[in-house]
Amino acid sequence: MKVLVVNAPHVERFVRSQRWATRTRARIMRWPDWLAYATAVLEQDGCEVKLLDCPAWGWDMQRYRAEVEAFRPDLVVVDSSTPSILSDIRAAAIAREACGARTLLVGPHVTSMPDDTFQRAGGVVDAVARGEYDYTVRDVARALVDGRSLSGIAGLSWLRDGAAVHEADRLLIQNLDELPFPAWHHLRLDDYYDGIKLFPYIDVIGGRGCPYKCTFCLWPQVMHGHSYRVRSPRNIVDEIEHDLRCHPRLRKGEFYFEDDTFTLDRDHTRRICQELIDRKLDITFSVNGRADVMDEDLLRLMRKAGCRQLLIGYESANQEVLNRMKKGVKIDRVSQFTHLAARLGFDIHGCFTLGMPGETRESLEQSVRFALEHPLTTVQFSAAMPFPGTSYYAEAEANGLLQPGGWENYLSEDGEQQAIVSYPGLDREEVTAKVDEALKRFYFRPGYAWRFLKRTRNLGDLRRKVRGAVSFGGYLVKRRSARRPVPPAAQEKRA
481 is a domain residue: no
Together in a domain, 136 and 246: no
Q: Between 10 and 495, name the one with better pLDDT.
A: 10
353 is a domain residue: yes
Q: What is the pTM of this model?
A: 0.92
**448 band by pLDDT with thresholds 50, 70 and 90:** confident
Residue 188 has pLDDT above 60, yes or no: yes
141 is a domain residue: yes
Residue 471 has pLDDT above 80, yes or no: no
Closest by alpha carbon to 142, among 52, 79, 74?
74
pLDDT value of residue 179: 98
**Number of domains the chain is built from:** 2
- DSSP H/E element including 349: strand 347-354
pLDDT value of residue 453: 67
Closest by alpha carbon to 128, among 88, 99, 96, 161?
88
pLDDT value of residue 469: 62
Closest by alpha carbon to 411, among 22, 20, 8?
22
pLDDT value of residue 457: 66
Together in a domain, 127 and 205: no
Together in a domain, 283 and 432: yes
Together in a domain, 158 and 211: no
pLDDT value of residue 481: 45
Residue 180 CB partners (closer than 8 Å, separation 6+): 37, 40, 41, 43, 44
Strands 127-129 and 156-160, by their bridges, are antiparallel
C-alpha distances (whole Å) from 267 to each of 175, 205, 230, 278, 338 are 18, 17, 12, 16, 22
Together in a domain, 159 and 68: yes
What are 59-89's pLDDT values in tens digits? 999 999 999 999 999 999 999 999 999 999 9
382 is a domain residue: yes
pLDDT value of residue 125: 98
pLDDT value of residue 468: 59
Amino acid type, 434: K
What are 125-134's pLDDT values in tens digits? 999 999 999 9
Mean pLDDT of 29-38: 97
455 is a domain residue: yes
Please give the sequence-ordered ranges of beta strands (E in DSSP) within 43-174, or none if there are none. Answer: 48-53, 75-79, 102-106, 127-129, 156-160, 163-166
- HSE-up of residue 211 (Cα within 13 Å, Cβ side): 9
Residue 136 has pLDDT above 60, yes or no: yes
Mean pLDDT of 433-446: 93
Residue 465 has pLDDT above 80, yes or no: no
Together in a domain, 157 and 203: no
Domain of 17, CATH number, reads 3.40.50.2300
What are 386-403's pLDDT values in tens digits? 999 999 999 999 999 987
Dihedrals phi, psi of 476, to nearest 5 degrees: -65, -40
pLDDT value of residue 454: 61
Residue 57 has pLDDT above 80, yes or no: yes
pLDDT value of residue 411: 86
Closest by alpha carbon to 24, among 472, 421, 356, 477?
472
Closest by alpha carbon to 143, among 75, 77, 79, 89?
75
Helix (H, G, I), strand (E, B) or coil at 141: helix
Mean pLDDT of 443-463: 72
395 is a domain residue: yes
Domain of 411, CATH number, reads 3.20.20.70
Residue 233 has pLDDT above 80, yes or no: yes
Range of the domain at 198: 194-464
Mean pLDDT of 150-158: 98
**53 band by pLDDT with thresholds 50, 70 and 90:** very high
**480 band by pLDDT with thresholds 50, 70 and 90:** low
- DSSP string for residues in 250-293: GGGSEEEE--S-TTSSHHHHHHHHHHHHHTT----EEEEE-TT-
What is the C-alpha separation between 157 and 171, in angstroms, rounded? 15
Instruction: Output the average pLDDT for the chain.
Output: 91
358 burial class (0-12, 13-18, 19+ CB within 10 angstroms)?
middle
Together in a domain, 265 and 374: yes
% of residues, the chain, pLDDT over 70: 90
Mean pLDDT of 200-225: 96
Mean pLDDT of 181-193: 97
Together in a domain, 135 and 200: no
Together in a domain, 149 and 225: no
Residue 484 has pLDDT above 60, yes or no: no
Together in a domain, 232 and 331: yes
Q: Are 131 and 138 in contact (CB under 8 A)?
A: no
Together in a domain, 200 and 156: no
Strands 307-315 and 285-289, by their bridges, are parallel
What is the C-alpha separation between 6 and 91, in angstroms, rounded? 9
Crossing angle, helix 114-121 and helix 85-99, to 10 degrees?
50
pLDDT value of residue 121: 97
Q: Between 376 and 479, name the one with better pLDDT.
A: 376
Together in a domain, 139 and 205: no
224 is a domain residue: yes
Q: Are 208 and 132 in contact (CB under 8 A)?
A: yes
474 is a domain residue: no
What is the C-alpha separation between 338 and 350, in angstroms, rounded? 10
Crossing angle, helix 61-71 and helix 85-99, to 10 degrees?
40
pLDDT value of residue 494: 30
What is the C-alpha separation between 89 and 79, in angstroms, rounded? 10
Residue 167 has pLDDT above 50, yes or no: yes
